[in-house]
Chains A and B, each alone.
Chain A
Amino acid sequence: MAHDAAHDHGHDHHDHGPGPWTRIFTTTNHKDIGSMYLWFAFFMFFVGGAMALVLRAELFVPGLQVVQPEIFNSLTTVHALVMIFGAVMPAFVGFANWLIPMQIGAADMAFPRMNNWSFWIMIPAALLLFGSFLVPGGAAASGWTLYPPLVTQGGIGTDMTIFAIHLLGASSIMGSINIITTILNLRAPGMTLMRMPLFCWTWLITAYLLIATMPVLAGAVTMLLTDRHFGTSFFNAAGGGDPTMFMHIFWFFGHPEVYILILPAFGIVSQIIPAFARKPLFGYASMVYATASIAILSFIVWGHHMFTVGMPAAGNLFFMFATMLIAVPTGVKIFNWIATMWRGSLTFETPMLFCIGFLCMFTLGGFSGLVLSIAAVDITLHNTYYVVAHFHYVLFPGAIWGLTAAVYFWLPKFTGKMYDETLGKWHFWISAIAFNITFFPQHFLGLAGMPRRIPDYALQFTEWNTISTVGAFLLGFSQLIFLWNVVKTIRSGEKAKDKQWEGADSVEWTHLPSPVPYHTFETVPNLKLAAPAH
């Protein structure tokens, strides 16, 4: 299906020979590959969302109505894996593919063939992940964190998941190497590092995080595999190992991973807000330093996922303090965005609406993160719906809205056609309301003590769960508007201007027509004078 979708996304390319199918399989063009990534991610978002809707349906009222508990666990696990590895990360890579070469004045990515490979590796991974529902024993049902020994009890589906993770990791590492090399080595003359648009900066740092952590995840799941099949004792106390060791290794990856899921969105927002405030980003340099600090700090905070495993007090304190510190650079970012709007000349097209939504809701999610980072408070909140509320607040209005804003913002550039503003506004308002109906009550559920990853719950949790489920279905509906708007734009959108947004100042708006030609730059552009002033 993903292929079909990619195929649909034909922006007519007069100049290139091979038929559409050959082109999809063999392309080395960063825009083709970017589009394939984006369609793949969009598809996965809907599948992951559909799984979430099944979860929410089961949680509509107490009792078991829709799925068996073990299927519920599998759906939870795969929902998370699909959303994180299948939707958000590929979508960011898709934008990186489209935008980075254009924004820094390069002809293409540094390694076009490897670029295509990074995309195509995700297909076998997706097949393995979804195929695991069909094998005896079902898909992995241990939560996306895959803690042993529970994961050791899993069947063949668990092995398929592990290999899917290996493949996705390989894809991410290759993609990241490509992005880093492109940014470091292919900038056109005049595009110094400190003049790069923030999307490039955040991706540069994200790629670094990916290369540093994905191999660690690969190591962790490899140990799971050998514990499962070859009699090793990494996570088995009887043999001198420790299940907690897996948690340490996993979260050494896992916490940087959550910033991998947000930093590129920070970059997107940092470009869209100035465009609609019609003034340069406030504090460009401090934005770069803040991003780097977040990345560095992210390596020493992983223990905040483990306050309840029984670490020594010193461990809990260290991880608590380190985690709290992240609020400082993140705060700098929030303040800079608001200062960008201050004394601007604001308009509120759809991308801007999503960015403002991002600001408010992500900050709420950050605050609940701060509450969780207090080791003592985390004791009552760990593995409750409060955590679920926290991370959906940072992931949905954070990562997904960041991406949504990017789609609306750059679609005119990619396709040469303008989206339907009215539909866009509907999309924003319905999803903003529905999102809060879905996830705000989950804070209450968590505070009241409802554990996560359960298919059934005690009666006092009923009302909020029912409301949350209703919200989730409304939220799903609002995503259908999104899909419709994108398809409509591509098929029958009005012609977009080369510089669709008055305040946009990065190279793709100032130097290139809409839609962008198949080969962005045939010759290396000189950006010495034209690069945006920060």
Chain B
Amino acid sequence: MKNKTLIERVFLAFTALCMALPALASYDVNIPPPATPISAQIYGLHMYILWICVVIFVIVFGAMFYSIFKFRKSQGAKADVNFHESTLIEIIWTVIPFIILIAIAIPAARTVLDMKDASHPDVTIKVTAFQWGWRYDYSADDVGFYSYMKTPWSQIGQPGIEATEKKNPDYLLEVDNEMVVPVNKRVRLLVTSVDVIHGWYVPQLGINQYGIPGFIKDAWFKADKTGVFKGQCSQICGKLHGYMPITVRVVSEADYAKWLADAKTKWSTKAAPAAAAVPAEDASKQYSLDELKAMGEKVYAANCAACHQPNGKGTPPAFPPLAGSKIVTGEAAKQIDIVLNGKAGTAMQPFARLSNTDLAAVITYTKNAFGNATGKAVQPADIKAARR
């Protein structure tokens, strides 16, 4: 280890002391128990600063309450009107806080540098946020899957409608597919988003990283114990921001290998369609209904199923069903408009970034799937014409 300054030594000793406290304290009033070296540092820093603040508070307000009791007019106190300036005192109480701040800044800076150093990862996972769920891509292993909240609306209820089911202990914090990582390995996260800003936030792992659409930002952790760690989306991202939980399961290396093998059979990305749309295309090309449906199914799976569900039934009231929807079964122009331009104020975002062919395909698909038997096709040229 590098040489330590005196301040750092004091700080470390103090941290060690405080780390003993979690064993006693109830976590409801403090940061949950750390599971990585970084989050342990954070925990220690917080306790350190907290105690400094408590001491300052006691001294400063001790002085104030002393004067409140001592210098009351009702006690016959006479004002000493000449006591209104003292350069010496003023210098002292400028310098002392400054020194205290330096004593805080040094360990704090170390931690910041540590947490920003994401080099040499053992596992790299791409985390893609969207309204409202997460996708985890273990790119090196060709595994990728979605992770949604599992709590049903029947437990949440609606204004005016009582919840019909009792809330689970894990209410709002349960997901269908957990992120799984091996213990004692450096895991690097490449966090991004496809629509708005979200925040991948798991306090016990010491990570809170915005996913910013169009950018990749990285963060890392090395869990030093196995277990299940929970978090939530930390940045407001629309209607269901409160319903975007995260679960990370840290397992032994052997269990991780087992999980990975299983995941490869379930969620291999090799078999899946190339999701990214290529803007270069021939928009004048005419396709047959079946060609469009076949292409559209893939586009649907990659872009729409997250919300409207693979079966087109959606999850009302948050996401309307496309099965039997008036817009889908009605005239094409309306649907092109809503898919191309989105619907303001809702999660239905503009999909103008998809190519004309993909859009034509997916719209044709929805018009002819989930029991919507319109038999109508939409051609790329229609989309091109509708673009603003």
Distance A20 CA – B181 CA, assembled complex (angstroms): 73
Bound-state Cα–Cα, A461 to B81, Å: 51
Q: How far is the CA of A281 from the CA of B159 in the complex (A)?
A: 54
Interface string of B2-36 (1 = CB under 8 A from A): 00000000000000000000000001111110000
Known: A147-B197, A286-B90, A346-B67. A309 touches B57 (CB 8 A): no
Question: Are A143 and B236 in contact, with the CB atoms below 8 A?
Answer: yes
Query: Quick check: which of B93-101, B261-269, B332-340 contacts chain A, the rest being far away?
Result: B93-101
CB distance from B36 to the nearest CB of A (A): 11
In the bound complex, what is the Cα–Cα distance between A464 and B27 (angstroms)?
13
Q: Does B49 contact A (CB under 8 A)?
A: yes
Judge whether B207 and A379 touch: CB under 8 Å.
yes
Chain B residues in 8 Å Cβ range of A278: 73, 79, 81
B109 close to A (CB within 8 Å): yes
Kindly specify which of A105-113, A294-302, A370-378 makes contact with the partner chain.
Answer: A370-378
Q: Give the B interface residue count (CB, 8 A).
A: 103
With A68-B159, A280-B84, A341-B64 known to touch, is A451 a contact of B98 (CB < 8 Å)? Answer: no
Hey, which chain A residues are within 8 Å of B89, CB to CB? 339
Q: How far is the CB of A53 from the nearest CB of chain B, in Å?
A: 16
B330 at the A interface (CB under 8 A) = no
Query: Which one of B29, B38, B112 contacts A447 once the chains associate, using CB atoms below 8 Å?
Result: B29
| A321→B106 CA distance, assembly (Å) | 10
| Interface status of A237 (Cβ within 8 A of chain B) | yes
Considering only residues 145-165 of chain B, those with a C-beta below 8 Å from chain A are 155-159, 163
- With A363-B57, A371-B53, A449-B232 known as contacts, the answer to whether A456 contacts B172 (CB < 8 A) is yes
Stretch at the interface among B237-245, B355-363, B367-375: B237-245
User: Assuming A238-B214, A448-B27, A451-B201, is B112 touching A316 (CB within 8 A)?
Assistant: yes
Q: Name the segment of A87-95, A328-336, A488-496 touching the other chain.
A: A328-336
A283–B232 CB distance below 8 A: no
Task: Check A376/B42 contact, CB under 8 A, given A69-B242, A277-B79, A313-B112.
Answer: yes
- For residue B371, give the distance in angstroms from its CB to the closest CB of chain A: 29
Establish whether residues B42 and A459, one from each chain, have CB atoms under 8 Å apart when the complex forms. no
Q: How far, in Å, is A249 (CB) from chain B's closest CB?
A: 15
Question: B199 touching A383 by the CB < 8 A rule?
Answer: yes
Chain B residue, CB-CB nearest to A244: B212
Judge whether A41 is part of the interface by a CB distance below 8 angstroms.
no
- Evaluate contact between B72 and A346: CB separation under 8 angstroms: yes
Q: Are B97 and A328 in contact (CB under 8 A)?
A: yes
Q: A389 in the interface, Cβ–Cβ < 8 Å?
A: no
Does B288 sit within 8 A of A, measured CB to CB?
no
Are A324 and B349 within 8 A (Cβ)? no
Q: Which of A321, A343, A448 has the most CB of B within 10 A?
A: A343
Across the interface, A371 reaches (CB within 8 A) one of B50, B97, B342, namely B50
Cα A67 to Cα B188 in complex, Å, equals: 39
Given contacts A149-B195, A308-B210, contact A279 B67 (CB under 8 A): no
A364 vs B105: C-alpha distance when bound (angstroms): 20
> Is B208 part of the binding interface, using a Cβ–Cβ cutoff of 8 Å?
yes
Interface flags, A347-374, vs B, CB<8A=1, else 0? 1000000001001100110010011001
The reply to whether B32 and A456 form a contact with Cβ atoms under 8 Å apart is: no
Q: A376 near B213 (CB under 8 angstroms)?
A: no
Contact B79 A153 (CB under 8 A): no
Once the chains bind, are B80 and A63 in contact (CB under 8 Å)? no
Residue of B nearest to A281 (CB): B84
Instruction: Report how far A284 CA is from B231 CA in the complex, Å.
Output: 49
**CB <8 Å contact, A382 and B237:** no
Residue B259 CB within 8 A of the other chain: no
B-chain residues with CB within 8 Å of residue A371 when the two chains form the complex? 46, 49-50, 53
Tell me the residues in window 415-471 of chain A with beta carbons closer than 8 Å to chain B beta carbons.
444, 447-449, 451-460, 463-464
Residues of B within 8 A of A69 (CB): 239-243
Known: A320-B108, A459-B167. A347 touches B74 (CB 8 A): yes
Which residue of chain B has its CB nearest to the CB of A383? B234
A321 contacts which of B71, B86, B105, B236 (Cβ < 8 Å)?
B105
Cα(A449)–Cα(B172), bound, Å: 13
Q: Distance (Å) between the CB of A464 and the closest chain B CB?
A: 8
Nearest A residue to B66 via CB reads A342
Q: A64-B157, A360-B61, A447-B31 are in contact. Are A376 and B197 (CB under 8 A)?
A: no
Given A150-B197, A155-B345, the answer on whether A236 and B214 have CB atoms closer than 8 Å is yes
Contact of A341 among B68, B93, B173, B214 (CB under 8 A): B68
The distance in angstroms between the C-alpha atoms of A138 and B163, with both chains bound, is 26
B214 touches A237 (CB 8 A): yes
Q: Kindly list chain B residues whose C-beta atoms are within 8 Å of the C-beta of A308.
A: 199, 208-210, 234
Q: How far is the CA of A278 from the CA of B77 in the complex (A)?
A: 10
Across the interface, do B236 and A73 meet the contact criterion of CB distance under 8 Å?
A: yes
Q: Is A456 a contact of B42 with CB atoms below 8 Å? A: no
Q: Given A142-B236, A320-B105, A451-B232, answer yes or no on A67-B197 (Cβ-Cβ < 8 Å).
A: no
Please, which residues of chain B bring their CB within 8 A of the CB of A236? 214
The reply to whether B345 and A384 contact each other, CB–CB distance below 8 Å, is no
The distance in angstroms between the C-alpha atoms of A328 and B60, with both chains bound, is 14
Is the beta-carbon distance between A346 and B116 smaller than 8 angstroms?
Answer: no
Q: Is A137 an interface residue (CB 8 A)?
A: yes
Q: How far is the CA of A339 from the CA of B92 in the complex (A)?
A: 13
Q: Of A138, A338, A367, which is within 8 A of B53 by CB?
A: A367
- Chain A CB count within 10 A is highest, among B68, B167, B208, for B208
Check B203 for interface membership: any CB of A closer than 8 A: yes
Across-interface contacts of A150 in B (CB, < 8 A) = 196-197, 236-238
Residues from chain B with a CB closer than 8 A to the CB of A138 are 345
Q: List chain B residues, Cβ under 8 A from A345.
A: 71-73, 77-79
Cβ < 8 Å to A, chain B residues 211-251: 212-215, 217-219, 231-243
In Å, the complex CA distance between A417 and B50 comes to: 45
Assess whether A238 is in contact with B234, with CB atoms less than 8 Å apart. Answer: no
Q: Is the CB of A380 within 8 A of B242?
A: no
Q: Is B295 an interface residue (CB 8 A)?
A: no
Task: State A150–B241 Cα separation when bound (angstroms).
Answer: 11
Residue of B46, B195, B214, B347 most packed against chain A (CB within 10 A) = B214
State how many angstroms separate the Cβ of A528 from the closest Cβ of chain B: 21
B80 near A279 with CB under 8 A, answer yes
- A451 to chain B: which residues have CB within 8 Å? 199, 201, 232-234, 241-242
What are the residues of chain B within 8 A of A279 when measuring CB–CB?
Answer: 79-81, 83-84
Within 8 Å CB of B213, what residues of A? 149, 237, 243
Contact of A449 among B68, B231, B235 (CB under 8 A): B231
Q: Which listed residue (B80, B196, B210) contacts A309, Cβ 8 A?
A: B210
Given A64-B156, A456-B172, A317 contacting B201 (CB threshold 8 A): no
Interface flag for A2 (CB, 8 Å)? no
Pairwise interchain contact A374-B195, C-beta atoms closer than 8 A: no
Q: Is there an interface contact between A343 and B79, defined as CB atoms closer than 8 Å? A: yes
**In angstroms, how far is the closest chain B Cβ from the Cβ of A352?**
10
Residue of A281, A338, A340, A449 ringed by the most chain B CB atoms within 10 A:
A449
Q: Is the CB of A317 within 8 A of B109?
A: yes
Contacts of A244 in B (CB 8 A): 212, 215
In the complex, given contacts A147-B235, A283-B84, what are 18 additional A-B residue pairs having Cβ atoms less than 8 angstroms apart?
A243-B213, A277-B71, A310-B212, A310-B217, A313-B116, A321-B105, A328-B94, A341-B67, A341-B68, A346-B72, A347-B74, A370-B49, A371-B50, A376-B41, A379-B115, A380-B46, A448-B28, A459-B167
Can you list 17 contacts pairing A with B, beta carbon distance less than 8 Å? A243-B212, A324-B101, A325-B101, A343-B67, A343-B79, A345-B72, A345-B78, A364-B57, A371-B53, A376-B111, A451-B199, A453-B236, A454-B242, A456-B156, A458-B172, A464-B28, A503-B79
A-B CB proximity, top 10 nearest: A237-B214, A310-B217, A137-B345, A454-B242, A155-B345, A313-B116, A376-B111, A343-B80, A345-B79, A279-B79
Query: What is the interface of chain A, defined by CB distance below 8 A to chain B?
Result: 62-70, 73, 136-138, 141-143, 147, 149-150, 153-157, 236-238, 242-244, 277-286, 308-310, 312-313, 316-317, 320-321, 324-325, 327-328, 331-332, 334-336, 338-347, 356, 359-360, 363-364, 367, 370-371, 374-377, 379-380, 382-384, 444, 447-449, 451-460, 463-464, 503, 534
